[in-house]
Amino acid sequence: MAWEGALRGRLLFADELRPEARRCIATLEEYGIASVLLSGDRLPAASAVAAATGIPRVEAPRTPAQKLQAIADSTSRGRRVAMVGDGINDAPALAAARTGIAFGAGTDLARQAGNVVVRSGRLMLLPWLIGLSRRTASIIRGNFAWSFGYNALALGAAAAGMLHPLLAALAMVVSSLTVLGNSPRITGYFDRAAPRQP
């Protein structure tokens, strides 16, 4: 505000950071995931947010097309890119990323563009979801390794005439039951690692 040619006062507006933002970024870093802030805001404002949350790299201001290009550039270098956003301007980048993660409180377009929609606004759900996906992939790989190895041995024994057909059928049932019994181990992840509201 100014009058008579002199500045008399000013109003500064800023987004309030979520209390768990810094912890979310730190946890992602522990997982080996680098974070980049792509923002449509001016560089000073975006840099202040990055400094407060611990994000090491800032690209601002960025239009939707520039965000999309940043995703394409990272992907072309062989990186697996996840994009997190909730605005209309984020939709093209959400759709282009290997995994687009939108928040339920965001715009309809962002939710439609994302592969994953986090219905809660809790940021700590991001590293929790990544941990869940890694745990799930580990169990799937273990199931495949066990199943292929077990069946290869059983087939070899059957082909050599060392395994009675009735025992071979029983072995197949045991193999399937082992895989089914191993899969519910994922429920332990929910009990142990479910994020709490700060």
CA atoms of 152 and 133, how far apart (whole Å): 28
CA atoms of 175 and 169, how far apart (whole Å): 10
CA atoms of 125 and 110, how far apart (whole Å): 18
**3-state DSSP assignment of residue 118:** strand
pLDDT digits (tens, 9 = 90+) for 25-34: 999 999 999 9
Residue 111 lies in a domain: yes
Is the predicted pLDDT of residue 194 greater than 60, yes or no?
no
Q: Is the peptide bond before 19 cis (omega within 30 degrees of 0)?
A: no
The mean pLDDT of the chain is 88
Q: Residue type at 4?
A: E
Last residue of a domain, one of 90, 122, 154: 122
What pLDDT does 197 receive? 47
CA atoms of 32 and 34, how far apart (whole Å): 7
The rounded Cα 60 to chain-centroid distance in angstroms is 22
- CATH number (domain holding residue 84): 3.40.50.1000
pLDDT band at 83 (very low <50, low <70, confident <90, very high): very high
Is the predicted pLDDT of residue 72 greater than 60, yes or no?
yes
Which range marks the domain in which residue 166 is found?
128-193
Q: State the average pLDDT over residues 76-92.
A: 92
Last residue of a domain, one of 122, 155, 172: 122
Q: Which two tokens stand for residue 42?
A: 């001016």
Residue 116 lies in a domain: yes
Higher pLDDT, 28 or 179: 28
66 and 39 belong to one structural domain = yes
